[in-house]
Amino acid sequence: MANNPERLPLDDLTVFVTVCDERGFRAAAKRLGLSPASVSERIALLEKRLGVPLLTRTTRSVSPTEAGLGLADRVRPLLNETRAALQDAASSRSDVRGLLKLNVTGAVMVDILPPLIGRFLAAHPQVRVELVVEDRLVDAIASGCDAGIRYGEHVAQDMIAVPIGPPVQRLALAAAPSYLAARGTPRHPTELLGHDCIRLRFSSGAMVDWEFETESEAIAVDPPGRLIVGVDGAASAIDLACEGHGLIATFENWLAPVIAVGKLQPVLRDWWMPFPGPRLYFSSRSMPATLRAFVDLVASERAEAGS
């Protein structure tokens, strides 16, 4: 029989949702700053109070039961709202404080997001920032973050998306002068199939697409890749291209510095395909003071760039 579920401590529900999100006691304990034993005890107490098992435990994993999944799905947004309300209560218009937690793709961590975060921290010394960097398509809000930053991700109706960083970027293609001298310079994207190529792979397992277009033609090519590097190692992939190991296609702003000093030469520049820049997305129903301040900074930066 359930034992006073109306008096369930908020902290225990937070622990439970974190275990569901992290799929394990140890990972949840690390995220919460607790011991695994303490996390396990709190979950056991919560199950005892409710009178139903919430988690299925095996030697390899922890997963929510049907009742646990339903509870987590309903409680998670309430916990996010509660955290936002507490942060707002601790903040004033002139003194923003609390935690801003963003789930972001690694693509924005090279040269787009760090300067913004630096200015944000300088403007709000009472704010802490946590950046969860991953390239999987996730629901940032459901995972306990205030907002997410992604490229081209579908946004639900109750979400707001605003541009952050450059409004338009391009997929650039380049190779070292030594490679082009030895192998020749491609004149059409289809010729890339006969070249050594350095490909980047997302953590999901999918390759970064190589798509090119001109005013009259668009084409996608899928060279096998003599070198394949995870997107988290993009900087090393660029270094390998500079050493002459093959052609590389990635963000133009990533390649611009090495092209400028002659370590790489642009290839098929007329075919470089533009695409929309990243967007900051967040719930229209919940906007803690820390996120509101960050959105204001992004808007200010965009206005200055436009002028």
Domain boundaries, the chain: 5-80, 91-166+277-306, 168-276
Q: For residue 138, which phi and psi values (nearest 5 degrees)?
A: -125, 160
Residues of the chain with pLDDT under 70: 1-9, 84-94, 153-158, 306-307
168-276 shares the fold of 5-80: no
Q: How far apart are the first and last CA of the chain?
A: 65
CA atoms within 13 A on the CB side of 44: 8
Is 253 strand, coil or helix? helix
**Domain range 5-80, CATH architecture:** Orthogonal Bundle (1.10)
- Residue appearing with tokens 């056991």: 44
DSSP structure class, residue 92: B
Work out whether strand 197-201 and strand 227-230 pair parallel, antiparallel, or are unpaired.
Answer: parallel
What share of residues in the chain are helix, strand, coil (percent, to 5)? Answer: 45, 25, 30
For residue 88, count CB atoms less than 10 angstroms from its CB and return exposed for 0-12, middle for 13-18, buried for 19 or more: middle
Would the pTM count as exceeding 0.85?
A: no
- Residue appearing with tokens 């380049």: 174
pLDDT of residue 206: 87
CATH T-level topology, domain 168-276:
D-Maltodextrin-Binding Protein; domain 2 (3.40.190)
pLDDT of residue 155: 59
CA atoms within 13 A on the CB side of 232: 8
Q: For the chain, what is the total number of helices (H) and then of strands (E)?
A: 9, 15
Q: How far apart are CA 221 and CA 219, in angstroms?
A: 7
Matching CATH number, 91-166+277-306, of 3.40.640.10, 3.40.50.150, 3.40.190.10, 2.30.30.100? 3.40.190.10
pLDDT of residue 56: 87
- Residue appearing with tokens 């009472």: 126
